[in-house]
């Protein structure tokens, strides 16, 4: 672990775009090994005596539990901080919060709305900063996604992943992750809800090195045909609840149901980052069906997050 840590130790984990293909492979390999050890009951206290501060501007189930339990299993301690408990929620500058926490903890995880807040935190912190989610990116989720795909498909390179729905933070990180690992990624969104053009352009630059193909395709049949992995997400992300009703009118045809799934490869697997709005973006039949690996995906958040912490901190 110490030798592997030298690759990315004390780095920030803000975007998969910031890491090389080899570094992401190491993260995935370590995640797999930590999972194996945890299943066998082998202790792995690589972060004994270390502390992670967890700042949550957005509510969470999987992110909080994965980081908190993961830190415990690694022998360390995690502190849950919400805006009501810390001065950041009362107007303290991010700069000051970053510098103070850096004197007391060994790493900071933040889950927030504006991506700029994570960048500002990382600018002033002297310890690794982990992006637990912003409105722009969700890299920790996609690392767990890639671990799940690798487990079920045996590889990442050369696979086709189709994402259905809003071109959101998950779609953006899937574009970066696919480009880095040689997966073809198709994002199928209604007009006006496509991925950010700057993110797509940056991901396409990454894709030149791995020869993966990144596509934005409105035609659902073209998008899902031949897919090895079919991925969906809620149509209205956290913080967009007021516009959810209006957005749903544009996304009705993008529901992942058995008819649409039948257009993918027969052995295609289904992913969803959760929480899911059953009966909206995905049906019970698909979510609970034999092609769904959604619960494996949720569990793998734990192992992927542990790899990030173990290697960075």
* Structure confidence by residue, pLDDT tens digits, 149-170: 999 999 999 999 999 999 999 9
Residue range(s) defining the domain that contains residue 232 = 141-298
Mean pLDDT, residues 4-20: 86
pLDDT at 6: 66
pLDDT at 243: 72
* Residue numbers annotated as active site: 111, 138, 141, 233, 273, 301
- How far is the C-alpha of 145 from the C-alpha of 174, rounded, in Å? 9
> Residues 72-105: pLDDT tens digits?
999 999 999 987 878 786 788 999 999 999 999 9
| Torsion angles phi and psi, residue 136, rounded to 5 | -95, -40
Q: Both 146 and 244 in a single domain?
A: yes
Q: Both 74 and 105 in a single domain?
A: yes
Q: Both 109 and 182 in a single domain?
A: no
Task: Quote the radius of gyration of the chain (alpha carbons, Å).
Answer: 19
Q: Both 55 and 163 in a single domain?
A: no
Q: Both 57 and 176 in a single domain?
A: no
Q: Both 224 and 308 in a single domain?
A: no
Q: Both 147 and 278 in a single domain?
A: yes
Q: Both 82 and 221 in a single domain?
A: no
pLDDT at 10: 87
Q: Both 72 and 41 in a single domain?
A: yes
Q: Both 280 and 247 in a single domain?
A: yes
The pTM (predicted TM-score) of the whole model is: 0.96
- How far is the C-alpha of 98 from the C-alpha of 88, rounded, in Å? 10
pLDDT at 306: 98
Which pLDDT band, with edges at 50, 70 and 90, does 7 fall under?
low
Q: Both 133 and 203 in a single domain?
A: no
pLDDT at 84: 80
- How many structural domains is the chain composed of? 2
CATH of the domain at 163: 3.40.50.1370
> Residues 229-277: pLDDT tens digits?
999 999 987 666 667 778 888 999 999 999 999 999 999 999 999 999 9
Q: Both 112 and 166 in a single domain?
A: no
> Residues 170-199: pLDDT tens digits?
999 999 999 999 999 999 999 999 999 999
């Amino acid at each position: 672990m110490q030798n592997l840590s030298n690759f990315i130790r004390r780095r920030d984990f803000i975007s998969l775009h910031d890491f090389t293909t080899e570094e992401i492979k190491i993260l995935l390999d370590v995640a797999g090994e930590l999972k194996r050890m945890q299943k066998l009951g082998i202790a792995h206290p690589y972060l004994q005596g270390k502390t992670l501060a967890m700042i949550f501007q957005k509510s969470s189930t999987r992110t909080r539990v994965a980081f908190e339990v993961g830190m415990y299993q690694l022998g360390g301690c995690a502190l849950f901080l919400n805006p009501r408990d810390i001065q950041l929620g009362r107007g303290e500058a991010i700069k000051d919060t970053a510098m103070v926490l850096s004197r007391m903890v060994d790493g900071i995880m933040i889950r927030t709305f504006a991506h700029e807040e994570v960048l500002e935190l990382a600018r002033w912190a002297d310890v690794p900063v982990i992006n637990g989610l912003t409105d722009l990116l969700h890299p920790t989720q996609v690392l767990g996604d890639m671990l799940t795909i690798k487990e079920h498909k045996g590889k990442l390179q050369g696979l086709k992943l189709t994402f259905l729905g809003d071109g959101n933070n998950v779609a953006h990180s899937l574009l970066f992750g696919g480009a880095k690992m040689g997966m073809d990624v198709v994002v199928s969104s209604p007009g006006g809800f496509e991925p950010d053009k700057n993110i797509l352009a940056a991901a396409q630059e990454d894709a030149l090195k791995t020869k993966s193909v990144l596509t934005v395709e409105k035609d659902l049949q073209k998008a899902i045909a031949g897919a090895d992995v079919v991925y969906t997400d809620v149509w209205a992300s956290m913080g967009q609840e007021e516009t959810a009703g209006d957005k749903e009118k544009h996304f009705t045809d993008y529901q992942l149901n058995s008819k649409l799934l039948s257009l993918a490869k027969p052995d295609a697997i289904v992913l969803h980052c959760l929480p899911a709005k059953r009966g909206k973006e995905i049906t019970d039949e698909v979510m609970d069906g034999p092609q769904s690996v959604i619960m494996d995906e949720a569990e793998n958040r734990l192992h992927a997050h542990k790899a990030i912490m173990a290697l960075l901190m």
